[in-house]
Amino acid sequence: MVEGDPHIHVERRVLEAGAAVRNLTVAILGRALDAPSTVFTGCGVWVPYAMTSTHPEAVTCLSCREHAHREYMRFAEQVERMLPGNNTYVSAVDVARIRELARRYST
């Protein structure tokens, strides 16, 4: 863990971070899991969980922003590959939203 690091980071597994995944876990398991006290970040350091964010505008670590941008772009490409079939769960609008989130991390 880096002492005195003033930056806000993203979790390494950025697609699995945040309230939506925790809510899904609660729906499946019927109970809430404790948030970790420290997490591994996109830039490769361990930081307190409180020093992370899922909101692009709050992330101040440039390496973490780049990591999140790459992960969301990769995810958008994976989702887009599912579109040619008859998939009623995913649309081009969903892919555009993912790409917009990735863009917010890149600025």
Q: pTM for the full model?
A: 0.81
Instruction: Name the band, by pLDDT with cuts 50, 70 and 90, for residue 5.
Output: confident
Q: What is the pLDDT of residues 81-101, one digit of tens each?
A: 877 665 566 777 888 999 999
Q: What is the pLDDT of residues 18-34, one digit of tens each?
A: 777 777 777 888 887 77
Helix (H) or strand (E) holding 93: helix 92-106
User: Where along the chain do its domains lie?
Assistant: 14-106
Select from 35, 34, 45, 37 the least CA-distant residue to 8.
45
